[in-house]
């Protein structure tokens, strides 16, 4: 079903709640059916590797996948300052990111007859991450199928006072123009900065890991599934460990 009218809705909640509102309320009101595709993002800043489990952008896509709806999570290294959709201007990089997503969806549509005749296989979605690019250069970026891997741009951690955390103060400046309150909360430690005690990055030199693909200057596209099923190798290890406990 096609629609030439643009709709914009605001949900003051989590990305997952916003996605469910779109699926269960607005899509039924506007299209009289579930959406054909959910695109989550673009997020300002990459969501790769270990941080994916904590990403609202990725989990918004996963909740759609688990509802049987094809979904793509999109994140980009730049820009890193959020701008309302009605404040975008010609030439802004957001439009270039959107063009990449449109090209990706078109490619999926053109090959819809492959593997079941659907846009994406049941229970499967995509995590797309764009590297830094110069103005006008996004269309020429190489594209590589990647694995989620372990390499990441940041690790989440809890601080007792967000007002003392540099990253929190930067990201929350728009919401708190008079200063971030001295509340406890979750922030991020970036991989190019010092790591607090108790945190460490897990080594990942696999060139196919999505963050390493992004670092190489290519667009990374990882295939993800909606349920966190362990691999066959992991299952075999657990069968051996639980041989006297479970069948």
> All domains of the chain, ordered by start, with CATH?
1-150+204-227 (3.40.1210.10), 153-200 (no CATH)
Q: Among candidates 50, 59, 45, which has minimal Cα distance to 130?
A: 45
Count other Cβ atoms within 10 Å, centred on residue 115.
11
Question: For each of the chain's 247 residues, which pLDDT tens digit applies?
Answer: 455 677 888 899 999 999 999 999 999 999 999 999 999 999 999 999 999 999 999 999 999 999 999 999 999 998 877 888 888 999 999 999 999 999 999 999 998 888 778 899 999 999 999 999 999 999 999 999 999 999 999 899 999 999 998 888 877 777 788 888 999 999 888 876 678 888 888 899 999 999 999 999 999 999 999 998 888 999 999 999 999 998 7
Tell me the C-alpha to C-alpha distance, in Å, between residue 51 and each of 22, 201, 211.
Answer: 25, 11, 11
What's the start-to-end Cα distance of the chain, in Å? 48
Give the chain's radius of gyration (CA, Å): 20
Give the span between the Cα atoms of 203 and 150, in whole angstroms.
Answer: 7
Give the span between the Cα atoms of 212 and 224, in whole angstroms.
Answer: 17
CA angle 71, 106, 37 (to 5 degrees): 25
Count other Cβ atoms within 10 Å, centred on residue 204.
17
Tokens of 128: 């797309």
Give the span between the Cα atoms of 164 and 182, in whole angstroms.
Answer: 8
Q: Among candidates 38, 13, 43, 12, which has minimal Cα distance to 23?
A: 38
pTM over 0.75, yes/no: yes
């Amino acid at each position: 079903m096609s629609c030439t009218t643009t709709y914009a809705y605001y949900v003051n909640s989590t990305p997952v709640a916003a996605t469910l509102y779109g699926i269960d309320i607005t899509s039924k009101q506007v299209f009289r059916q579930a959406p054909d595709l959910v695109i989550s993002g673009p997020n300002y800043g990459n969501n790769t590797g270990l941080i994916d489990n904590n990403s609202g952008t990725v989990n918004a896509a996963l909740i759609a996948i688990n509802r049987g709806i094809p979904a793509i999570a999109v994140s980009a290294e730049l820009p890193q300052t959020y701008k309302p959709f009605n404040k975008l201007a010609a030439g802004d990089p957001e439009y270039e990111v959107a063009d990449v997503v449109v090209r990706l969806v078109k490619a999926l549509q053109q090959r819809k007859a492959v593997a079941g005749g659907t846009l994406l296989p049941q229970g499967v979605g995509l995590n797309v991450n764009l590297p830094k690019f110069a103005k006008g250069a996004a269309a020429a970026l190489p594209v590589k199928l990647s694995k989620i891997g372990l390499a990441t741009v940041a690790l989440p951690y809890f601080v007792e006072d967000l007002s003392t955390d540099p990253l929190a103060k930067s990201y929350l400046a728009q919401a708190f123009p008079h200063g971030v309150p001295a509340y406890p909360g979750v922030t991020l430690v970036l991989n190019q900065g010092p790591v607090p005690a108790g945190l460490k990055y897990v080594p990942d030199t696999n060139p196919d890991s999505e963050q390493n693909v992004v670092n190489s200057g290519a667009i990374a596209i990882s295939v993800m599934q909606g349920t966190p099923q362990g691999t066959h190798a992991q299952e075999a290890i657990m069968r051996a460990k639980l041989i006297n406990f479970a069948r």
